Structure 1
């Protein structure tokens, strides 16, 4: 089968012909066998690129993977084979899931407990983009911050995969949503998503713009900060937080880990949530299961949508990573089996 294989650590956006390229595309990688009576083999249709995949190959992720490995995380596909004790799925079922590694390939094997049926009416490629980005935002906003109608949600890095998912879930919850991104095209797209206020962090002061909007709406401040960026932007955003606000630490796309001053958090009664979504599979699996099932229902009913910004075949995986690295994304970058390179930007 065809698969992307990481053979050494480095920048996965490098041309595959470069001697320093850390990934190769193998056309003869072995098809994984069923490993237990409850295992299921899935023929992958689409798999999502997440910033964590990029960091894993760079060797900068919090969990280090032994080399070589097939990268990948969330994916969708068709059940290809099932173990003798599998009772929840059958060959031909449309499914999606999340893996620690391995989805950047034509086939992947997992246990039936890790799979989710994709409802009728759901686009299978969109379902492959759902688990990590939308799952992260749903657990963060609904389960952790318990976002309520009328509250103010501030989303940093709003044009990326997790950012757009946070915006949509915020609107489903009835929140007033403020989105921060860079560039005219991204801001125009965010406006089309129904965002209440957009801020171009490359051209204007985030604090001044947010304060002006809050004053116009007669709102006291921000109730929930959704932060996949980190760095200077986090520090600035704290200046507009309400008493009792929730800070959701999602990631550090800026490359800089921010410091939340404990003395100010104490005085203002802030709650700081670290949100490592994948670890819920170990510590709170029921939360993750309930979350993804609700998201799949929302997707099937059109309550939420997944914007596929770029899609590539496995053979162009380095170009997919380059798109992610260069911040050219509005939503999700996907590897789609048999796809032709496509870009909306």
Structure 2
């Protein structure tokens, strides 16, 4: 089979190599999957750089979210067990964590359905109107996509004063819930923009900077800082993962949700795709789609 291997840490475009390899051998409780599509994530870039909280032994294959096929023909989504990631023709995953791929979504969309890292955006919602989409994005292209997708209020953090814009949009109250996968300056803005008794949900640090929150500020403003490491639910509360997947599958079947896949590339384009995500040049998900699945 062909698989992308990382032999040393560095920028994805420099350290990822497409090589011939033997299909991986599953361990106890694992299953071999034929990869149909693999979603590209920012953690893939961090894995290449050696900056992710999980550091698989070298060489390894990145690719943490896939839509694959079992030996008995079931179409599933899975998080591959590193070092045998999804940017390969075959990957390995824990059999207990496999989830059925929604029939309403194609392989690329199913691979992008995983609950986890999305784009480098953080969303704002008011309790009075959770159905109304609001978001803070980076760059005019991302702002345009957010508007096209139906967001009622879109704030471009690169050209606007985020805190002032949030206060204006919420009548001076601030945001009740802030989803922040960016960290760094975005978190600083979050703390200033959050409402009294609001909540900041920390999902990741795409900016590369891990903030040090001022707990005195949280105290005087009565807001909560909540960490969300979704992967832990697979071991701490797997029934919740199953429940969320079932709800997402129902929403997909109704046409209420559909992952935004802005680009589909062949296996040979995986390294360039990971670098593109690392450089913040995407407005949706990029999926690596195998030729057999695309045919």
Relative to the length of structure 1, the TM-score reads 0.77
Q: Is the 8 A contact 2:184 2:211 kept in 1?
A: yes
- Deviation readout 1:284-338 (Å, 9 max, x if unpaired): 2222222222222222221111111222222222211221122221111111112
Give yes or no for contact 1:6–1:70 (8 Å, CA) kept in 2. yes
Give me the whole-angstrom Cα distance separating, in 2, the residues matched to 1:333 and 1:290. Answer: 26
| Aligned twin of 1:114 | 97
Aligned with 2:69: secondary structure?
strand
Alpha-carbon separation, structure 1, partners of 2:283 and 2:208: 20
Tell me the residue number matched to 1:161.
119
Instruction: Identify which of 3, 16, 31 aligns with 1:23.
Output: 16
Tell me, in whole angstroms, the C-alpha distance in 1 between the residues paired with 2:11 and 2:116.
25
For the residues of structure 2 that align with 1:92 and 1:324, how far apart are their CA atoms?
A: 31
Which blocks of at least 5 consecutive residues in structure 1 are unaligned?
14-20, 82-90, 138-159, 340-345
Task: Give structure 2 stretches of 5+ with no counterpart.
Answer: none
Distance 1:124 1:9 in 2: 30
Whether contact under 8 Å (1:8, 1:67) holds in the other structure is yes
**Size of the alignment, in residue pairs?**
289
TM-score computed with the length of structure 2 as normaliser: 0.89
Residue 127 of structure 1 and its aligned partner are, at CA, apart by 0.5
Q: Pick closer, same or farther for the CA change 1:225–1:182 going to 2, 3 Å.
A: same
How large is the Cα RMSD of the aligned pairs? Answer: 2.4
Tell me the secondary structure at the aligned position of residue 288 of structure 2.
strand
Distance (whole Å) between structure 2 residues aligned to residue 136 and residue 7 of structure 1 = 26
Q: Which of 238, 245, 248 is the aligned partner of 1:285?
A: 238
1:27-77 CA deviation, whole Å, 9 max, x = no partner? x211134545x6432211100111111101101111221111111111002
Q: Select 2:193's aligned residue among 240, 249, 265.
A: 240
Counterpart secondary structure, 2:47: helix
In the other structure, the counterpart of 1:5 is 5
SS of structure 1 residue aligned to 2:133: strand
2:153 corresponds to: 197
1-side partners of 2:192 and 2:243: how far apart? Answer: 34
Distance 1:194 1:213, change over 3 A: same
Map 1:137-156; keep pairs closer than 5 Å.
none
Change (3 A) 1:34 1:237: closer
